Amino acid sequence: MRLDPADIALPQMYSFLTSAVVPRPIAFVSTRSASGGFNLAPFSYFIAISSAPPLVGLAVVDRKDDPKDTLRNIRETGEFVINAVDEDLLPAMVQTAGEWPTGVNEFEIAGLTPAPSEKVQAPSVQESPIHLECRLHREIPLGNAFFLVGEIVLARVDERVLTEGRVDAAKLRPVGRLGGEFYMPFRELAKVPRPRISRSSGQPLT
Ligand SMILES: Cc1cc2nc3c(=O)[nH]c(=O)nc-3n(C[C@H](O)[C@H](O)[C@H](O)COP(=O)(O)O)c2cc1C
């Protein structure tokens, strides 16, 4: 199969991209509107970008005159929280992704608990073991999406997913997004050591 973007319609390219670029981590984004309403929605166009400062990015697809509530709230307040999605949260996370009207609180729809965050006004999802409290660093229009770069101002991690101070994937049991309505639950860890090479000599480091 060959796909030339010049020849195919947008839904086909979306369907291809989201099936081929897999698995994707899911940012479960909680926000607060300027008037104080809570919102919750998943985004899998999501990536870690930089460690100093810690920056993460997510792309919210443009709905023209009707921006997604997440985008509107982040524009209004400059703040959001990214909550990790583990296997237990998968069904509730999917519930929040319905195109619920503005003003609907997806915490209630999904039976999840909004918990206060520390450095931002946006709530966190109490049931999620990792909370990344973010301030908007930059909004970049890219293609048919807005890429939101967030600076993590505080990361809060539940002890239950840690081993010796590190997030342990086997305890976190993260879920990845595949194409269509498919998800990849956690299976097992594959440890594959990287070659340690001296850049100057090209020889293995001893
Ligand atoms: C697992 C998953 C990942 C998603 N990823 C994205 C994404 O990266 N960008 C996007 O614009 N919409 C994405 N969506 C769709 C949004 O979650 C959906 O449009 C949602 O209703 C937006 O909610 P809001 O209007 O409350 O912000 C995703 C949906 C699911 C189920």
Structural domain count, the chain: 1
Residue 183 pLDDT level (bands cut at 50, 70, 90): very high
Tokens of 154: 């505080």
Tell me the CATH number at 29. 2.30.110.10
- Residue span of the structural domain in which 81 resides: 10-184
- Residue 201 is assigned to a structural domain of this protein: no
Q: How far apart are CA 89 and CA 167, in angstroms?
A: 17
Please check whether residue 198 lies inside any domain of the structure.
no
Q: Which two tokens stand for residue 15?
A: 């369907």
**Above 90 in pLDDT, residue 84?**
yes
Distance 136 CA to ligand 1 centre (A): 18
Confidence at residue 70, expressed as pLDDT on a 0 to 100 scale: 98
Does the pLDDT at position 206 exceed 90?
no
The answer as to whether 111 is a domain residue is: yes
Ligand 1 centroid, distance to 59 Cα (angstroms) = 9
The ligand 1 site (C-beta within 6 Å) comprises 26, 39, 41-45, 59-61, 68-70, 94, 97, 99, 177
Rounded Cα distance, 88 and 96, in Å: 14
